[in-house]
Structure 1
Amino acid sequence: MFDSAFRTLFLSTPARLSLEDRHLCITQKNKESVKIPLVDILCVMLESHQITLTNALLNAFALHKIVVFTCDESHLPSGLFMPFLGHFRSFSVLQSQINLSKQRKAILWQQIIKAKIHNQALLLKMQNKKEYKELESLAKSVNLGDSNNNEAKAAAIYFKALFGKNFSRKVQIFEDSKMGTINAALNYAYALTRGIIARSLCVSGLNPALGINHKNQFNAFNLADDLIEPYRIFADSVVVQMVEVGELEESLSLQNRARLVDILQSAVIVENKLYPLTRAGVVSVQSVVKCLERENFKLKLPLFCEEKSNGRKIYESASDV
């Protein structure tokens, strides 16, 4: 499905980006130019507002399925550039999406929310939080379409257990320094993960605007917002680690943001195989396509786990996926 792209570029200082012989050329004042093969690049994070790039390079990014993030004044991702649909079966896959029944959507959403709450429980258990038992119970009792709203019930328990009883996801950075910085870190990591999943959706022939549960008419990535749910826990885990060692201060530092970018290479278990998060997303997206084609096929979703490989092979190449 994909090439062997693996590099995530984090550009936080002024630079000129251009295309030279199928390479990204990075030119900075008083420094030697750096050239990186486009085939190696998975995504580019443009942090500095003093970065310029050529249209020829943007076109090359699209052809190589490279995701580009832009950031606002607070250094949080604000925009996303990615290729148009680029799969030879785009129309047939799109037609299957449109024809997906409400019953089938309810079944798929149930699978997603079960996986999400189960992963939340696993992280709480790893953190020695007794609340994990409540989440395990909620995960087991998710109804079709999550009609009993277990996702919200779990979230109300989960975030307070993870970050403290006064923690709220509604607090922004300008309202409370510590809580706001945690939320900024979570939002940053979620945006990265969402972008990578959206990339996978686009090049698989799926229309990312047609969600399973999310249906916002102004959202071009409803399906990405569906599939990210069980992946959010990997971001939560990294942020928890940063809080524990005192890395997060009154604002999200350059070092913090660089650390969060590494989430894309987190080890993720899917179907008892270990993948970098970027490849795990591909597996999940491919399973969506198969669910559209086969009535009884189940989504392949990530399992959060503290251990890394345990002797397992890490599946990284396109052929592995």
Structure 2
Amino acid sequence: MIKRTLYFGNPAYLSLRKEQMVIQLPEVEKNESLPDTFKKEATTTIPIEDIGVVILDNKQITITHGLLEKLLANNCALITCDSNRMPTGLMLPLAGNTTQTERFSDQVNASVPLKKQLWQQTVQAKIKNQAYVLEKTTGAVVKNMLIWAENVKSGDTDNHEARAAVYYWTNLFPKIPTFSRNRNGIPPNNLLNYGYAVLRAVVARSLVASGLLPTLGIHHRNKYNAYCLADDIMEPYRPFVDNLVVDIVNKNENISDITKDVKTELLQIPVIDVKINGQRSPLMIAVRQTTASLYKCFSGKTRKIKYPAFE
């Protein structure tokens, strides 16, 4: 089942009633010119079990502790946004699997050679997906990228990921010749930042559901980063966000601000169509296959992690 992504950009009161999220809008309820029947109809409910991601993007949103408890118990990811309306915080459940301790132990005890092999597979999948996006959207030559992908060694000791990234970002937005990928750089970096934040939440949520610690990565090791493993595993999924952003850039003249329409498109990331294990699947479901296969690698049942592709 595909879980819903809910975005709240206006003042709202969010509470819990009988396993349902209750959404009340103060601006409607306090408007004396509106009839009571309309106010009652404006209050909506959504089953907790249908919710996967909640994005809170207004300082006048109130959410009850009871609702938070239920959302986390249902393995929901909650994203909070800052004054610039950009994702800035992520809340996840501490435990999302019945065999949590065993799975943590397998993850912590994973050997260095295994983690290097998993990173090799991760980088190969990422570069191949980048090559697809680049060729599809710009017609650029990508033979070199495919060669780099095939030549990635265990642990990516030759740093083919960085080499591919330089070529990829230099050519991905031909209409913006000064573009470079930088979190604080010129647009569409803002769109990429937003999209990656949504993707990161989806991946982190799935890692928790698979009984893994999002903090302990197979490659990323920044001591200040609480989501190193999520950042590792989302790498081959990033090109799907890039592909969406390219489409948005081609349709919009002004991308300095993330408009309501653009945000609506970016919030479709969890349901983007991908191909994994030979079948088409929504991205959120594919991520579950990826994190489940990752645990099987940690537990010694396999050495191959499942990653998505475009074709």
Q: Please give the TM-score of this superposition, normalised by the length of structure 1.
A: 0.89
Give the equivalent residue in structure 2 for 1:318: none
Distance across 2 between alignment mates of 1:264 and 1:123: 18
User: Of 97, 122, 142, which aligns to 1:112?
Assistant: 122
Give the equivalent residue in structure 2 for 1:181: 187
Contact 1:129 1:161 in 2 (8 A): no
Alignment gaps of 5+ in structure 2: 29-38
Deviation at 1:94, TM superposition (A): 1.1
Deviation at 1:5, TM superposition (A): 5.2
Give the equivalent residue in structure 2 for 1:33: 43
Label 1:143 to 1:248 Cα distance change in 2 as closer, same or farther (>3 A): farther
Label 1:295 to 1:283 Cα distance change in 2 as closer, same or farther (>3 A): closer
Distance across 2 between alignment mates of 1:204 and 1:172: 33
Give the equivalent residue in structure 2 for 1:166: 178
Contact 1:211 1:226 in 2 (8 A): yes
Deviation at 1:304, TM superposition (A): 2.1
Specify the SS of the correspondent of 1:250: coil
Distance across 1 between alignment mates of 2:212 and 2:262: 33
Contact 1:131 1:157 in 2 (8 A): no
Alignment gaps of 5+ in structure 1: 174-179, 306-321
Deviation at 1:234, TM superposition (A): 0.5
Q: Deviations over 1:82-108 (max 9, x none)?
A: 111121211111111111111111111
Distance across 1 between alignment mates of 2:261 and 2:24: 22
Amino acid at match of 1:300: K
- Over aligned residue pairs, what C-alpha RMSD do you find? 1.4
Superposition map of 1:1-321 within 5 A: 4=1, 6-28=3-25, 29-30=27-28, 31=39, 32-164=42-174, 165-170=177-182, 172=184, 180-246=186-252, 248-294=254-300, 296-305=302-311
Q: Deviations over 1:160-180 (max 9, x none)?
A: 11113421112636xxxxxx2
Specify the SS of the correspondent of 1:69: strand
Matched residues, number: 296
Specify the SS of the correspondent of 1:79: strand
Distance across 2 between alignment mates of 1:295 and 1:286: 11
Distance across 1 between alignment mates of 2:118 and 2:95: 23
Q: Deviations over 1:194-252 (max 9, x none)?
A: 11110111121111111100111221111100000000000000000011112643211
Contact 1:97 1:292 in 2 (8 A): yes
Specify the SS of the correspondent of 2:129: helix
Q: Which moved more, 1:4-13 or 1:39-48?
A: 4-13
Specify the SS of the correspondent of 1:127: helix
**Which contiguous aligned blocks of 4+ residues in structure 1 show a shift greater than 6 angstroms?**
none
